[in-house]
Structure 1
Amino acid sequence: MNTTISNSVAKASINHAGAELFSLKNSQNKEFIWEGNPAFWGKHSPVLFPIVGTLKNNIYTIDENEYQLPRHGFARDMDFQLIEKTENSATFSLQSNKETLLKYPFEFELQLIYTLENTTLTIAYKVINKGSSKMPFSIGAHPAIALPNAFESYAFEFEKDENPEFFLLENDLISDKTKILETNNRQVQLDYELFKNDALIFKTLESNSLTILENSKPYVKVAFEDFPSLGLWTKDKAPFVCIEPWLGYSDTHENSGDLFEKEGIIILDKNQTFDSKFTITIF
């Protein structure tokens, strides 16, 4: 089942499966979200919860009890309920249940709130701890932006003048190896060689937004002030690129396995709510 929100200049469509954005179009019906062709990558913009990235051996512990979670958690593979709808906004909810408690022993509600104002789509996350103890979690976004022209005709433009450090992945885990992303006038030309070692993982950035330029003109801007970390990723020869605002990231090889001790984890007190949001603006 799908839900569409719209205004006079844009419309967005969200699949109730995973509350996943799968379409964002302007008034000329131009599509900005990756189509999800499984020959490259069969998703569009999944939510990452209750972890971001990969756990060491896909295992973590709580109170010395062992649990398993797949890469990026389970929320993206579950059906959400539409709980509120207006012409330009929609709110989806996922509640903990018997299935989730076997993988993640915490009672929670996860809400995704989509709001379309002009050509800017705000995606807000609300995490509610409904249990009687502290709850560790991470949350992140994974929007794939469609690139209909030659990959090399696009560039990233950082909000601020920086040459940020990124971490390399080894077997899907964060290694201690880093590189510097060299920018020129805040820009980096896209090249598949940039992603030859998988995603670029920035634990911290000075910039709070990143704009994709198409032939030097603004194409899509992703703003992520609430998210300290960022992933950039694509597949070889794929006509898309992902700009991924994160709160948390994959384990390192030195992780203890205790989820409360995981680097980048958020600890939410009982009966408390955590809010964050990012925006996608199309040009």
Structure 2
Amino acid sequence: MSVITLSNSQISVAIKTLGAELCSIKNKLNREFMWEGNPDFWGKHSPVLFPIVGTLKNNTFYHNDTKYTLTRHGFARDMEFELIEKTEDSATFSIQSNSATLLNYPFEFELQIQYKLINTTVEIDYKVVNKDNSEIPFSIGAHPAFALPSNFEDYSLDFEKVEPLEYTLLENDLVSQQTEKIHTNTNRVPLTYELFKRDALIFKKLQSNSLTIIEEDKPILKVHFQDFPSLGIWTKVGAPFICIEPWFGYSDTTKSNGNLFEKEGVIVLEANANFQAKFSIEIL
């Protein structure tokens, strides 16, 4: 594994080739915005979730009468990516299906991830190439964790729009049929650990296309996710970070039948076709 650094006059970032994982964003005052990855809480920074987001029922799926095993969030985050293109302010990474991935996910693919700096923004572009001769099913998502160095209760989240903030609850890591609402008359949600006592908040559909972290009434960072239909928000109780996670897809439902092609939220990509989506992290 190596670490690739990018910079412009406003920000600098670092990306590990292992998992093509963003591990640092600093502004010109040298403030770090990414979670440090302390394993006492959570040993990651911003893993890429592919070819599934979340958990499969019994960690398995079936294809052509064969049983396959995929662990939580898929394998991309644990693979060494190849750096295929780099400039001072951009880098593109790639993995491709191989004999190891085909044992757990019997589809031929290439996944490219590009990081690009534009002023105070990091733009992250996902590209999935179907290299198979038939359709492939997949989900893809981001899992960036942002450092909250002050008291957790000093922070809040501003949704782009005032809307009904209904989220779905997890049940044993699977998407349940239970939903709850965050009760607020504005677009602002104060952060409390109580919100996350039952794990992540899963918003299957939002009107908002961005979410801003507010620190003691001052906006510090905004995640733009207009390409993504779903969003997860998560922390571990007691941990000094918040994850804002744009997703295509999410964990299996408790009623899942084990067919990836019929999985709720899944993308089915035609043979030889490409899929692209991007989100961005803006330092304010």
Instruction: Please indicate the TM-score interval, normalised by the length of the shorter structure.
Output: over 0.9
Q: Does 2:108 match 1:116?
A: no
Aligned to 1:215: 216
Counterpart CA distance in 1 for 2:195 and 2:259 is 33
Secondary structure in 2 aligned to 1:30? coil
Paired letter, 1:102:
L
Question: Could you say which residue in structure 2 is the equivalent of 1:93?
Answer: 94
AA of the residue aligned to 1:210: L
**Contact 1:13-1:21 within 8 A present in 2 as well:** yes
Q: Deviations over 1:105-137 (max 9, x none)?
A: 011000000001111000000000001010000
Matched residue type, 2:73 = H
Which residue identity lines up with residue 118 of structure 2 in the other structure? Answer: E
Question: How many Å separate the matches in 1 of 2:127 and 2:233?
Answer: 24
In the other structure, the counterpart of 2:174 is 173
1:183 shift after superposition: 2.5
Q: CA RMSD in A?
A: 0.6
What residue is the counterpart of 2:82 in the other structure?
A: 81
For residues 194-214 of structure 1, give each alpha carbon's deviation from its aligned partner in whole angstroms, at most 9, with x where no partner exists: 000000001000100000101
SS, match of residue 54 in structure 1: coil
Using the alignment, how far apart are the partners of 1:125 and 1:184 within structure 2? Answer: 35
Map 1:176-215 → 2, pairs under 5 A? 176-215=177-216
Quick one: distance in 1 between partners of 2:218 and 2:57? 41
Q: Give the aligned length.
A: 283
Mapped contact 1:162–1:183 kept (Cα < 8 A): no
Matches of 1:251 and 1:165 in 2, distance apart?
Answer: 19
Structural mapping, 1:227-246, within 5 Å:
227-246=228-247
TM-score by length of 1: 0.99
**In structure 2, the residue corresponding to 1:76 is in which secondary structure?**
helix
Once the 2 structures are TM-superposed, how far is the Cα of residue 63 of structure 1 from its aligned partner?
1.7
Partner of 1:161: 162
Q: 1:105 corresponds to which residue?
A: 106
Percent identical: 64
CA distance in 2 between counterparts of 1:63 and 1:266 reads: 18
- Which consecutive unaligned segments of at least 5 residues does structure 1 have? none
- Code of the residue aligned with 2:192 in structure 1: it is D
The CA deviation string for residues 20-67 of structure 1, in whole angstroms up to 9 with x for no partner, is: 000000001100000000000000000000000000000001122110
CA distance in structure 2 between the partners assigned to 1:202 and 1:280 by the alignment: 19
Could you say which residue in structure 2 is the equivalent of 1:47? 48
**Aligned: 1:276 with 2:274:** no
Runs of 5+ unmatched residues, structure 2 = none
Letter in 2 for 1:152: E
When structure 1 is superposed on structure 2, of 220-229 and 175-184 the one drifting more is: 175-184
Matched, 1:24 2:25: yes
Partner AA of 1:157 in structure 2: D
* 1:226 alignment partner, SS class: coil
Relative to the length of structure 2, the TM-score reads 0.99
Q: Which aligned runs of 4 or more in structure 1 are off by greater than 2 angstroms?
A: none
1:258 paired to 2:255: no
Deviation at 1:164, TM superposition (A): 1.6
How far apart, CA to CA, are the structure 2 residues paired with 1:103 and 1:183? 43
Following the alignment from structure 1 to structure 2, what is the Cα–Cα distance between the partners of residues 280 and 183? 25
